[in-house]
Every structure is written in structure tokens, then in C-alpha cells.
Amino acid sequence: MNKCPRCQNEDFVKNGFVNENQRHKCKLCGYQWTRTTPRGHPPEHKRVSVLLYCHGISMHAISKLFDVSVPAVLNWIRTFAKKHAPKPALTPGTLVSLELDEMWHYIQNKKNKLWIWKALDRNTGHLIDWECGGRNAETLTKLTNRLAIFNVKRYWTDKWQVYETILPPSKHVQDKAETHGIERNNCQMRHWFGRFKRKSIIVSKSVEMVDLTIALFARFRVNADMFDILNLGGGQPNIIS
């Protein structure tokens, strides 16, 4: 370590020993330290853990691979998603043709369903927004209020009755045959993330992690390349040696 851990000043001196370890002292802030190697796992390990999570590997398996606790892996994924996987940002007024659909998930236990409403742009194939909540008009309204900033040419949905109570009839087409794109997107999300599989013992403990997982899916599975994860913040790590 060539800098003071507190102020990053490079001007420091040796200042005795503690338990046979050399101690250093910063000339600028007076901070003293003995550790000369960074704490925690390197950023490369954390990026690989996110990549594995996005390939359907459970947090428990990742924790065993890196010999850390499950909460540590959870924090790695949460921190990465908040920093690198924001919701897609489109220019207000962008012309879009949207497929909407809702898929179910579990929160806390399998008696408590969580519904995920999603909007897919037909023109680009990108997942542009989503909302978690109940299978009701209130949740759909939250989603459509955000979508209102775009120039929506058409809404394509299945025949769930809530859609016709919220969407403008002049722009709304209810036809199951016209929602293949969003339904395929739902299948891909269930395939790539263990928590969303239909027949699974996994349930989510928080809506936050559901939302962040969808953000990772949208950012790196649907709208970009999954292996971009390894290049964020540094070069591609060597995970073999």
C-alpha cells in the first residue's frame, strides 16, 4: 500500500511495530496503520459473482465458491446492480410500440404472490420498464404513468380485464397472438434466474432484490451483452488461476 488508507496521501513514514508488523504513519493526517494489503475480495471476484448470478447460479453456491457468507454475495450483487443497472432511460417523446404483460412471483412465502408488470418495446426488443405489486389497476397505473412520457403508438396486451380499464381504447389491441415478444422475455427471465423459476423452492425475501434482479436482466441479458459485466471497472479477470 503506497497511500494513506484515510486521506490517500503518499507521504508517510515507518512508525514502529505492532505484533511484529510494521506500522506506518501519515505525515498529513496522522493516521497510523499496519495492514498493507486491501481488505475484502477483489472487484474481479465481485463482478464474476454477478455474472454467475445472471447465469442462474444461486447465491448459496456463489458463497461457497468464494468462501464468503451469503449476505456478502447479496451485498455484492445489490451494490453492482444499483451502480451499473439503472432502469433504461429513453428520451421523452420517443416513438414506441409496447407489449405489456404480467408475470407472477413469490415474496417471503408461496402464499404471497407478487406480480411483475413489464413493458417491452417492439421496435427494439428492449425491456424499457417494469413495476412490482398486485395484479390490479393500481400497479398497472404506476407503470403506465411513467410510460406516458413516450409517444406510444400502440399497446399490445393479452385479455386480462385490467388493461382495458387503464389503456386508451384507440391505442390498445388485446390479442394473445400479438404478445409473443414479452412472453418470450418472461420465459428468458425465468430461465436465467433461479428465483423466477416456476417450479422452485426459492422465494424472494424483498421486493428490492426482485427489482434489482430485473434491472440486471434488462441491462445485461435483454438490452446488452452479459459479459459486459466483466469489463465494468476493469479488465476481464482470470477466474481459472
- pTM: predicted TM-score of the whole model, two decimal places: 0.79
- Angle between helix 43-53 and helix 59-66 axes, rounded to 10 deg: 150
% of the chain beyond a pLDDT of 90: 70
Cell numbers 479488465 correspond to 235
Greatest CA separation for the chain: 79
Angle at the Cα of 86 (from 64 to 63), degrees rounded to 5?
A: 5
SS3 113: strand
Region 210-234: mean pLDDT is 89
Compute the radius of gyration of the chain from its Cα atoms. 23
Residues 6+ apart with CB under 8 A from 87: 128, 129, 215, 218
% of the chain beyond a pLDDT of 70: 94
List domains and CATH numbers for the chain: 1-39 (no CATH), 40-234 (3.30.420)
pLDDT value at 163 more than 50: yes
Q: CA-to-CA distance for 62 and 64, rounded, in angstroms?
A: 5
Q: What is the pLDDT of residues 70-84, one digit of tens each?
A: 999 999 999 999 999
